[in-house]
Chain A
Amino acid sequence: MNKVGIIGYGITPFTKEDKKIESILLDSTKEIFKNNSEIDQKDIDAVLVSTNNNSKYLSPILSEIAGIQPKIAHTIENLCNSGTNSIVSAYSYIASGLADVVLISGGERYDSPGSILEWDNSRGEYKHPIFWASIFAKSYKREYSVSDEELALVSVKNHKHAKNNPNALSNKTYTIEDVINSKKLTDDLRLLDCSRPCTGSASIILGSEEKVKQYSKDPIWIRGIGQKTTSAGFTKNISFSSMESTNLAGNAALKMANKQTEDIDVAEIHDAFSVCEPMILESLGFSDEGKGMSMIKELHQTNNYKINPRGGLIGSGHPLGVTGIAQTIEIAQQLQSDASNRQVKDANVGLVHNMSAAATSSTVLVLEK
């Protein structure tokens, strides 16, 4: 299998702007070509668009307005982990030899239809994500004797990190009291426990070993990929206090990369809601079962940006099909020591965790310098 790495990336600030999806996709695509002058549109073999938008034929449209005539062009949608699914598809095209250079462009509007999975009728009238998050939170708190105040620390930490991310939707810091006193959505969820949908654009170019060496002065390699889909329906999760798909995808990615969790210096994980962060840390093996909050508390108290340095989804915003690409860009920047005042010291190996629909599907990537 051919080696695959990152050639370049482009990202624009996450906002609440009302823009056409085609313009959104072009925003970060043109950033890539501006930032990587050695890459030309004619070098692109495939264009993959990651979005939950209902517009059709977006990849050929983006290709046309960006002056690209790719061999392969199509959209990839898998709700909130569309972004990493697109990266995995690009990896496959390159590793198989079908393409040498692939542009992946993620674009989403603040009013994306991907927020609600209409199909999941087992949820009855409780289809909004705040209801699965409330069940996760209730179950996790009960199982491990965790309080609302302790969980609120996830939001406090990630908003603090986002303050150092110029592309984040949030530019404010909050206290535990602020989180607890924010609007109560259910008994187990406050407004500041939630990531917010937004308008965003992020693009990345992957290439074969030869192309990466040709175009990138500071190559980042994709060493491991793990994916698992356990179901589509939320109520089919075996546990509501751990994430099976995340555990399986994480193990597969680490095995492929020949790494252990202890080798990971920095990670972007899918904190769609506060409770997700400790659940993911435990499911990926960063901490023991029920001890995720202890790890988060220590990271926060020592101002360690190891987990969600860009502010996670809670701080950065969550433009669904863009999130996995933005997470991957952050890890690439961290490994290139180019993450400004959110830089994690001596970061050599990084991990991306991106999931969909209450962890019914997870993707994990392991990146290395």
Chain B
Amino acid sequence: MNFESKLNEGKFCIPECTECKKIVWPPSKFCDSCFGIVTLKEEDFEGKIVEFSRQNEQYFCIVEFENTFRIMANISKTPKIGQMVKISKCGIEKGNYFFHVI
């Protein structure tokens, strides 16, 4: 099953190369380093907030996972730089990925 299928089910996975073990981001079927086949790691990953801003009452932030890659996510409470968060909700809506963290 690929990254988007899992995301559509509300599951956030981390893609990793089966050969060189590199995390491959953005998600792809093949490793961007050795072109090995990529599999998905499915865990309750923790990420770190590296930056944030706010539109109206909604905060949005950059979250870094595994010291490797970053995503933009919603967060409901006032974020702090360095704060550790987990993905509470994710999916695909109208073709766009969405991520919520707590």
Contact = CB atoms under 8 A, between A and B. Distances in A.
Contacts of B26: 121-122, 233
Q: Tell me whether chain B's interface is mostly helix, strand or loop, or mixed.
A: strand
Given A122-B72, A124-B73, A235-B70, A135 B53 contact: yes
Contact of B60 (A121, A122, A131): A131
B30 interface: no
A134 B96 contact: no
Nearest to B50: A240
A126 interface: yes
Among the interface residues A127, A138, A240, which one has the most CB atoms of the partner chain B within 10 A? A138
B72 A126 contact: yes
15 contacts: A121-B96, A121-B97, A122-B25, A122-B69, A122-B97, A123-B72, A126-B60, A127-B96, A131-B53, A131-B72, A137-B53, A142-B81, A185-B55, A233-B26, A240-B51
Contacts of B25: 122
A343 B96 CA distance: 46
Contacts of A186: 53-55
A188 B69 contact: no
Nearest to A128: B55
B2 to A, nearest CB: 13
Interface in B5-63: 25-26, 50-55, 60, 62
Contacts of B51: 135, 138-139, 240
B53 A124 contact: no
A124 B95 contact: no
B53 A188 contact: yes
Contacts of A40: none
Nearest to B25: A122
A262 to B, nearest CB: 33
Interface string A303-337: 00000000000000000000000000000000000
Contacts of B70: 122, 235-236
Chain B contact-residue range equals 20 to 34
A38 interface: no
Contact of B98 (A118, A124, A189, A235): A124
Interface string B62-101: 1000000111111000000100000000000101111100
Contacts of A139: 51
B54 A124 contact: no
Contact of B71 (A122, A127, A189, A240): A122
B93 A125 contact: yes
Contacts of B55: 131, 134, 185-187
A125 B98 contact: yes
Nearest to A188: B53
B66 to A, nearest CB: 14
Contacts of A185: 55
A124 B52 contact: no
Nearest to B93: A125
B96 A125 contact: yes
Given A187-B53, A188-B53, A124 B62 contact: no
